[in-house]
């Protein structure tokens, strides 16, 4: 009876976790989930030519999305880190430690999104809160670049004025979501698929 009650509690917790907003957010960027999804498809491919064709396409997609991830997500965070280092340089006696702290501060959102989402999606509340906080930080550092791109897009269609500033802000919202998490998930998805396709090519006889 005690074992049965324990199993029921575990099932209830699992259902709650899988119906929570956090679970669906983190499952999109969980490396393990991306691996399993790609493997379900790639394991069905049995023709070497087909695998090679897909592998080439996925490699190109990985390069393209990786470049976008660097330009829209990682590089703006590094720019913010450089600004932070300049502002704090007079208050830190050890500049080497400051450089390491700023670098970690700049890339921590990406590291958390890449490797810690499994813990968050399985109920670690502290990690869940930490990833959400780093996502907000990541969005803040990405917002200047997103707004600049949005403004350039709007100005292509409309002359500069008050309306273009408002429209630029509206267009910047989906661009910010794209730069903060979407391009990174695409990059990971394509990169994992490329690796699995290469592995599958060696399995086919």
Taking alpha carbons only, the member of 200, 189, 199 closest to residue 58 is 189
pLDDT given at position 1: 52
pLDDT at 6: 52
pTM of the model: 0.78
Q: In angstroms, rounded to a whole number, what is the distance separating the alpha carbons of residues 36 and 196?
A: 10
At residue 61, the pLDDT reads 97
User: Quick one: which of 121, 102, 169 has its CA closest to 25?
Assistant: 121
* 95-114 b/e (C-beta count within 10 Å ≥ 16 → b): eeebeebbeebbebbbebbe
Measure the CA–CA gap between 32 and 9, rounded to whole angstroms: 25
The pLDDT of residue 54 = 96
Note down pLDDT in tens along the chain; length 205 residues.
554 545 444 444 444 444 455 556 666 677 778 888 999 999 999 999 999 999 999 999 999 999 999 988 888 888 888 887 777 777 776 777 777 777 777 778 778 877 888 787 777 888 888 888 888 888 888 888 899 999 999 999 888 887 888 899 999 999 988 888 889 889 999 999 999 999 999 988 7
CA atoms within 13 A on the CB side of 138: 27
Tell me, what's the pLDDT at 11? 45
Query: Which residues, other chains included, contact 13 with Cβ-Cβ below 8 Å and sequence gap of 6+?
Result: 123
Distance CA 102, CA 150 (A): 28
């Amino acid at each position: 009876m005690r074992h049965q009650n324990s199993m029921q509690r575990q099932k209830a917790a699992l259902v709650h976790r899988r119906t929570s907003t956090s679970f669906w957010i983190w499952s999109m960027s969980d490396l393990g989930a991306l691996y399993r999804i790609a493997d379900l498809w790639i394991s069905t491919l049995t023709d070497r030519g087909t695998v090679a064709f897909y592998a080439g396409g996925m490699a190109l997609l990985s390069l393209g999305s990786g470049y976008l991830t660097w330009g829209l997500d990682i590089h703006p965070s590094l720019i913010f880190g450089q600004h932070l280092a300049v502002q704090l340089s007079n208050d830190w006696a050890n500049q080497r430690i400051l450089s390491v702290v700023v670098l970690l501060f700049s890339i921590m959102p990406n590291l958390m999104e890449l490797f810690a989402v499994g813990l968050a999606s399985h109920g670690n509340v502290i990690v869940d809160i930490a990833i959400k906080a780093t996502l907000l930080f990541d969005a803040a550092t990405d917002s200047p670049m997103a707004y600049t791109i949005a403004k350039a897009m709007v100005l292509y269609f409309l002359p500069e004025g008050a309306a273009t500033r408002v429209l630029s802000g509206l267009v910047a919202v989906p661009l910010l979501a794209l730069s903060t998490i979407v391009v990174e998930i695409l990059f990971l998805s394509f990169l994992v698929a490329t690796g699995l396709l290469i592995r599958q090519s060696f399995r086919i006889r």
